[in-house]
Amino acid sequence: MSDPVQFWNDCGVEFARTARDPNSFFARRAAFVAEFVLRNTSPGRMLDIGCGTGQLCLDLGRRGFDVHGADLSSVQIEIAIQAARGVLDAPEERFQVCTADSLPFEGRFDLIAAIGVLPYVQDQPAFIQRTLSLLKPTGMFVASYTNPASLFTLVAVTRHILSFRPKRVWALTLRNLVRTGLLGGSCVDIRTARQCRSVAALDQLCCQLGLTIEGEFDLYNVDWGLLDRCPFERGRFGRLLSRHFGWTHIAAYRLGPQGTAKLGPWS
């Protein structure tokens, strides 16, 4: 199990280079999430938890959202600030370093996003409950789930096995891939983690907390046949396949007028 702050600080520059490449999965994912958000809600005050290098904030900021981003990695926050200069006003105030238990922004938000964050959260129910305390009534929570049984994982595991090296790091990477669907960054203790093990479990948890599902889509992160070219235009069978074999499931959940968090707010 690695330290998430150190992990993302170490790979921040490399990840920023990838995220800024318009042909990369992460840049395309941010663009798809921005389009998805606009299909489901109007511009308002927005918080991106785990904003990384700020791509989703930049995409939504250009579309009229009052964006704010928080991340554990000071390296990635600095990259986000530099990228936002000339695009967003006061980027130093919009992008801030956070901790696992506290956020640097006050007030509530119309939209909160947590894309690619949940696999690194030790206690997902507590995280989501606290996040809801930051939402305005009828606000929207957009989150992603990483599917370890995806087509992407199968391809990644096959390639990793073919690159066999009799080293501990090779074995750890394989174990992490099979368990989480991620190539690296195992930052949770699986023995004590409270995590949703399926999309259905995440949906059920969110519904129990007073959220309703507004919309959803899936991304394969596999280039075969341009599977991710039009994720919003899939037919019923295509949606079923992508739900089971896609790598990233993204859903929008709406908080009811009386929705409240069961835990205390972020400190």
Residue pLDDT, tens place only, 9-58: 787 788 888 888 888 899 999 999 999 999 999 999 999 999 999 999 99
Distance of CA 22 to the CA centre of its chain: 18
pLDDT digits (tens, 9 = 90+) for 171-199: 888 888 888 888 776 667 777 889 999 99
CATH ID of 4-148+192-255, from 3.90.480.10, 3.40.50.150, 3.10.129.10, 3.40.50.300: 3.40.50.150
**pTM metric for this prediction:** 0.92
Q: If we measure between CA atoms, which residue out of 17, 12, 76, 10 comes closest to residue 48?
A: 76
CA pair distance 100, 115, nearest whole angstrom: 15
Give exposure, 156-187, as e/b (b: 16+ Cβ within 10 Å). bbeebeeeeeeeeeeeebeebbeebbbeebbb
